[in-house]
Structure 1
């Protein structure tokens, strides 16, 4: 593929497929990761200090996060692609159902926004730079107190 618009569109579809699978309401399997992510994957900025360093740790992040937060709804606000990157801006709604970051669950609904930049090579994800509103997430699960206005 030497056609940059076609490569960008292919990359966008790969990431869209990845996000649909990893953020489905019921994460029954991680096969979408094997289909879309390169074994050399590296991740940066993942919550809980769970930055992936290989394919297995990438899958483990989703196992841990999805184990702690159930009943997920996920909305992509924007998805922009070029020949080497795909950027996604999204919103996540989940229930805190199991311990995360040492915080016991209380079942409350948690809502946060984030952005991810995916580095692409040969139609597969090789890097993920994740930036979510971790402060809001940690405040909502009770790990960080909410500042009160004076």
Structure 2
């Protein structure tokens, strides 16, 4: 099961984030999935529809999002992913007027899987680094 869960985690980043495939979002997230910390610590999101809305907000601020999976570690139903996102600031993200700058966002995720779907996710990302990149513009 560990290899299948690693593959599921990789699909999440490739299909949902890099390809922007909304159908994959509902396929990969369990109906009652909880996600935490995206894009910053905030109230948990429940289900694919809530995550989709938050993702759309993020995509209005940043375009050309590409998430590179740097490392995946899995044990049982738990998967840890270290990733690096590169994107362009084209909207009013993080309260800063669009700069057109390319930025890099390092982060990590802990994902819990059951029956081939993500049931819970905790995100940790360095938005301070992104703010510094934007403010330097």
Q: Same fold (TM over 0.5)?
A: yes
Q: CA deviation at 1:14?
A: 1.2
Q: Which deviates more, 52-61 or 34-43?
A: 52-61
TM-score after normalising by structure 1: 0.82
SS in 1 for 2:49: helix
TM-score by length of 2: 0.89
The partner residue of 2:114 within 109, 112, 121 is 121
Cα distance, 1:89 vs structure 2: 0.4
Q: Which residue matches 2:74?
A: 81
The one of 10, 23, 29 equivalent to 1:31 is 23
Name the larger-Rg structure: 1
Structure 2 unaligned residues grouped into runs of 5+: none
Q: How does 1:1-150 map to 2 (within 5 A)?
A: 7-24=1-18, 26-27=19-20, 29-48=21-40, 49=42, 51-142=44-135
Provide the aligned length of Structure 1 versus Structure 2: 135
Alpha-carbon distance between aligned partners in 2 of 1:107 and 1:50, rounded to the nearest angstrom: 29
Could you report, residue by residue, the CA deviation over 1:24-57 in whole angstroms, capped at 9, with x for unpaired residues? 1x52x31111111101111112225474222211
SS in 2 for 1:47: coil
Which has a greater percent of helix? 2
Unaligned runs of 5+ in 1: 1-6, 146-150
